[in-house]
Amino acid sequence: VVLGGIVLVIGAAVYLNGDLGFTAVGTAAAMVALAGNSAATLLGRAVNRGHEHPSVVVTAMSMAVGAATLAGVALGTERPWPRLTWGVARVIAWMALVNTAVAFTLWSWVLRHLAAVEASVINNLMLAEIALLGWLFLGERPGLVDALGIGIVLSGTAMAQLTSARQAPPSGTSTAGARAS
């Protein structure tokens, strides 16, 4: 699992140093985002591993806090306020309910059931997903170095998941000792 994670990080470095244009400011912003994402994953994992609340409840509470914070900042800083049409309201509702609520409920479930390294590897697949979506919807064709980096990321992810599957205990047994993290 660890080797797969290392390969994944190497692939991310290759991709991010490719045609995107490496800058110190961008790297600093990425590090801040990485630290925040890591902290959120660790906190979410701790809450979800406690099994005190269903994943849906954990997701609803965290989304409510985040939505209230974002709405407060937006209402305080956005001038003039945007006009809310039915079309915009439908898009916001779709993004909130389907794209966000369903995705984060599944993520809460993942944090509850997978080891931290496994969850981290899945989380890092976003690099490949974003590149694919950029290509499909925005016409951002990856260059040769970008494609190589994405391939390495996918290889590291596969290595980590296959290693983890081989190390998993037989079904029906406790995973506490086998998946300590």
pLDDT tens digits, the chain, 181 residues: what are they? 678 778 877 887 787 775 556 677 776 777 787 778 778 777 878 887 877 888 788 778 888 888 899 889 988 898 888 788 999 899 988 888 888 888 888 888 887 887 776 777 777 777 788 888 888 988 888 888 888 888 888 888 888 777 766 666 554 444 444 444 4
**In the structure encoding, which two tokens stand for residue 29, read together?**
């912003």
- Contacts of residue 106, defined as CB under 8 A and 6 or more positions apart, other chains included, come to 55
Q: In 50-143, which ranges are continuous DSSP H helix?
A: 55-77, 86-94, 103-113, 116-124, 126-138
**In the structure encoding, which two tokens stand for residue 146, read together?**
């970008």
Looking at beta carbons, which pairs linking 56-64 to residues 24 or more positions away fall under 8 Å? 56/105, 56/108, 58/108, 59/101, 59/104, 59/105, 59/107, 59/108, 60/101, 62/104, 63/96, 63/100, 63/101, 63/104
Q: CB of 41 within 8 A of CB of 111?
A: yes
pLDDT of residue 180: 42
